[in-house]
Amino acid sequence: MTTDEGNHPDDADPRFGGLPQRPGKIIAVHLSYPSRADQRGRRPAHPSYFLKPSSSVAASGGSIERPEGTELLAFEGEVALVIGTPARRVSVPDAWSHVAWVTASNDFGLYDLRANDRGSNVRSKGGDGFTPIGPELIDARTVAPDALRVRVWVNGDLAQDDTTAGLLFPLPQLVADLSQHLTLEAGDVVLTGTPAGSSVVVPGDVVEVEVDAPGAPGAPTSGRLVTTVTQGAVPFDGSLGSLPAVDDTQRAEAWGSREAAGLPAEPHPAGALTPELRAKLERAPVAGLSQQLRKRGLNDVTIDGVRPMHPDRKVVGTARTLRFVPHREDLFASHGGGYNAQKRAFDAVGSGEVVVIEARGETRSGTLGDVLAIRAHARGAAAIITDGGVRDHDAVAAVGIPVYSAGAHPAVLGRRHVPWDLDVTIGCGGTTVQPGDVVVGDADGVIVIPPALVEEVVDAALAQEDEDAWIAARVAEGHPVDGLFPMNAAWRARYDAAHGRTATP
């Protein structure tokens, strides 16, 4: 370790061998690298943070235990900043002067516990050995904060490689922002986020992290921070707290993608609608689509009882479904809190998808509010449709995302509903909706189209629109509707001739 501090009280504790002292606090940023933010499908406007206990620190050459009964231990190589002088309400230009050293860190996380501590990460990232740091300290005065590089190898293969140039939140900004809320004290550590490439490791894997400054004089480096993954033998005690649990969403995020996790592609990708087909649906009125579906024997395809907040906005997308069941106290206690189905659905909705909620027509509570509307909007969702109520109605309307609902209600979800599951077949407004169904909405209402029929139906609806427009023009000229609407043989012949077609037999 290259410092001027000499001995310190924690010299005898090998966990802190990569630091000048035991840190009073470790603060980690959730997202800062554009590559990671794009992988997660969201770019936050401001940094957000979580705390890690100093007892999670480990030195290079140590090991991390994957607890018994878990599967999703993931590495995150990061640049660690070590505070040298106290920082309280410092400016961005002055912030870097309060950083004494830079080194490598690995912000390990156990995704099996992530849902239980959503946001706080107390258990999922606070375990013993979950924050290796070191092995050498780089003098922060010798490097530029936007010219650092972080790389990670797993079993010798390069897994992460990025630089601090172009961060969403530059390193001095993180220090300045934190200092306006609390005092950063000497020895505190700030973990500055991880780039894309983080993934799952298993017992026997060896993870190495290095931070360096290739363009600085002497190309200073932290050296490689080495951690070996081992298998734990002691299971968690469910009588004391929540047990590990995983689902495909957590697997995909831990591994970095559904493909890397060995999962099939999403069953309802937004890409199911080609740009050309989406453009056709944008032009086709819901009334016309309804008419064509009726001709094909499909009458029960309208989501009834819902009205739009923005009647002038057209909605086209594929369904992402969410199901609520009637409120019951014991079930809400087990399914209503934490990272429940409602939150997972709004975190998972993709660009061009529509969140469709089964609320059983129950209007005596809200089924979403402004925060979830903002989340769906940030994810690029096409709309939200619920046959229940909306809370914070005006704030939701101000978000700008199209919303269809059964009306406004001030009560919270838990008054009438339990968030139960997502991506299942549901009933909304009297019609069945399956994940991947095509949903189209306008001022007339909302219709659900089976994917296999979309192209046929929209082409027929647009053709009918052209015909109706021609008929309307003739009526405007003074012709009576009898024989014209619908067209008899004579009018049909005139229509076909006007459009350069052979008369319909």
What does 277-345 look like in DSSP terms, one character per residue? HHHHHHHS-HHHHHHHHHHTT----EETT-EESSTT--EEEEEEEEEEEE--HHHHHHHTSSS-HHHHH
pLDDT tens-place string over residues 53-76: 999 999 999 999 999 999 999 999
Q: pLDDT category, 297, cuts 50, 70, 90?
A: very high
> What CA–CA distance (Å, rounded) separates 447 from 458?
12
Inform me whether the pLDDT recorded for 496 exceeds 90. Answer: no
Query: Tell me, what's the pLDDT at 9?
Result: 43
Q: How far is CA 358 from the centre of its chain?
A: 21
369 is in an annotated binding site: yes
Q: For residue 345, what pLDDT is reported? A: 92
Global pTM? 0.58
How far CA 138 is from CA of 3, 103, 145, 210, in Å, comes to 9, 6, 12, 11
Q: How far apart are the C-alpha atoms of 441 and 306, rounded to whole Å? A: 11
pLDDT in tens, 345-375: 999 898 899 999 999 999 999 999 999 999 9
Residue 1 near residue 135, CB atoms below 8 Å: yes
Tens of pLDDT along 183-223?
Answer: 999 999 999 999 999 999 999 999 999 999 999 999 999 99
Over the stretch 412-460, which tens digit does the pLDDT of each residue have? Answer: 998 999 999 999 999 999 999 999 999 999 999 999 999 999 999 999 9
Does 232 have pLDDT greater than 60? yes
The residues near 480 (Cβ < 8 Å, ≥ 6 apart) are: none
CA 408 – CA 399 distance, rounded (Å): 15
Q: Which CATH number fits domain 299-449: 2.60.120.10, 3.50.30.40, 3.90.1150.10, 3.20.20.105?
A: 3.50.30.40
Question: Which tens digits make up the pLDDT trace of 234-282?
Answer: 988 888 887 888 888 888 888 988 888 888 766 544 446 888 999 999 9
Residues of the chain with CATH 3.90.850.10: 15-255
> Would you state the pLDDT for residue 267?
53
- Distance of alpha carbon 419 from its chain centroid, rounded? 18
15-255 to CATH, choices 3.90.850.10, 3.30.930.10, 3.30.70.1140, 3.30.110.70: 3.90.850.10
Q: Does the annotation list 391 as a binding residue?
A: yes
Cα torsion 162, 167, 169, 172 to 10°: value is 70
CA neighbor of 368 nearest in space, from 383, 388, 348: 388
In terms of Cα–Cα distance, which of 306, 155, 120 is closest to 228?
A: 155
* Pick from 253, 136, 186: nearest CA to 8: 186
Q: What is the mean pLDDT of the chain?
A: 90
- What per-residue confidence (pLDDT) applies to 334? 84
Q: For residues 365-376, b (16+ Cβ closer than 10 Å) or e, as one string? A: bbbbbbebbbbb
Provide the strand spans (E) within 140-191.
Answer: 149-154, 157-163, 189-191
> Quick one: residue 345, left, alpha or beta (phi over 0 = left, psi -120 to 50 = alpha)?
alpha
Neighbours of 384 (CB within 10 A): 29
300 is in an annotated binding site: no
Q: How confident is the model at residue 502 (pLDDT cuts 50, 70, 90)?
A: low
Q: Identify the pLDDT of residue 265.
A: 67
Quick one: 473 exposed, middle or buried, by C-beta within 10 A (0-12, 13-18, 19+)? exposed
Looking only at the bridges linking them, the beta strands covering 49-52 and 57-58 are unpaired
Over range 143-157, report the average pLDDT. 96
- pLDDT of the residue at 426: 96
- How far apart, in whole angstroms, are the C-alpha atoms of residue 408 and residue 415? 14
* 453 annotated binding-site participant: no
**Parts of the chain belonging to CATH 3.50.30.40:** 299-449
CB 273 within 8 A of CB 315: no
Quick one: pLDDT band at residue 483, thresholds 50, 70, 90? Answer: confident
Rounded to whole angstroms, the Cα distance separating 194 from 211 reads 12
Q: What is the mean pLDDT of residues 141-147?
A: 96
**So what's the pLDDT on residue 384?**
97
Q: Is 42 annotated as a binding residue?
A: no
Strand pairing partners for 207? Answer: 154, 227
Is 202 in a helix, a strand, or coil?
coil
Query: How far from the centroid of its chain's Cα atoms is residue 451's Cα?
Result: 25
Q: Hey, what are 281's tokens?
A: 């649906």
Amino acid at 462: L
Q: Which pLDDT value is given to residue 279?
A: 93
| Separation of alpha carbons 460 and 283, rounded Å | 12
Residue 226 in marked binding region: no
User: 3-class DSSP state for residue 98?
Assistant: helix
Nearest alpha-carbon partner for 331 in 250, 219, 260, 420 = 420
Q: Is the pLDDT at 164 greater than 80, yes or no?
A: yes
Instruction: Say what the pLDDT of residue 203 is.
Output: 96
Q: What is the pLDDT of residues 326-350, one digit of tens each?
A: 999 989 988 888 778 899 899 989 8
